[in-house]
């Protein structure tokens, strides 16, 4: 029912590509600098687990998952 919201911090991103690898429907990499591009801030259910894993394996902690009511971190 409630959709978690993804946030990416492109300043923290180190362009490792783990997100684009684990959740390609949700994340991509900028063609020039390799940094994260968020395709869906509120991923559909089918891609939520992959998005969560991408947040978990991100080497720089650039991806965060927020509850729908979260106001800040």
Partner 1 sequence: MSESVHTVMAQPTARQPGCPFDPPAELLEAHRHGPISRYTHLGGKPGWLITGYDMVRSVLADSRFSSRKELLNVGDFEVPPAPPGEFLLMDEPQHGRYRKPLVGKFTVRRMRLLTERIEQITAECLDAMEKAGPPADLVTSFAKPIPTIVICELLGVPYEDRGSFQEQIDTFMGGETSDEELIAAYTATQEYLAELVAAKRANPTDDVLSELTDSDLTDEELKGISLILLAAGFDTTANMLSLGTFALLQNPAQLAALRADPALTDGAVEELLRYLSVAKTFMRTALVDVELGGQTIEAGTTVVLSYHTANRDPERFADPHVLDLRRPYDGHLAFSHGIHQCLGQQLARVEMRVAFRALVDRFPTLRLAVPAEDVLLRPETADIYGVKSLPVTWDQVTS
Residue with smaller CB distance to partner 1, 4 or 17:
17
The neighbour count for residue 58, using CB atoms within 10 Å, is 22
Helix (H, G, I), strand (E, B) or coil at 29: strand
Cα 11 to the chain's mean position, in Å? 14
The residues in 17-36 that bind partner 1, with binding defined as CB under 8 A, are 17, 20-22, 24, 28-35
Residue with smaller CB distance to partner 1, 6 or 50:
50
Hunting for tokens 């993804």 — which residue is that?
A: 6
Interacting residues toward partner 1 by CB under 8 A: 14-17, 20-22, 24, 28-35, 53, 56-57, 59-61
């Amino acid at each position: 029912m409630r959709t978690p919201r993804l946030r990416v911090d492109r300043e923290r991103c180190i362009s490792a590509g783990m997100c684009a690898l684990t959740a390609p429907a949700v994340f991509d990499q900028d063609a020039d600098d390799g940094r994260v591009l968020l395709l869906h801030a509120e991923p559909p259910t089918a891609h939520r687990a992959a998005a969560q894993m991408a947040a978990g394996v991100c080497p720089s902690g650039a991806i965060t998952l927020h509850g729908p009511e979260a106001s800040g971190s």
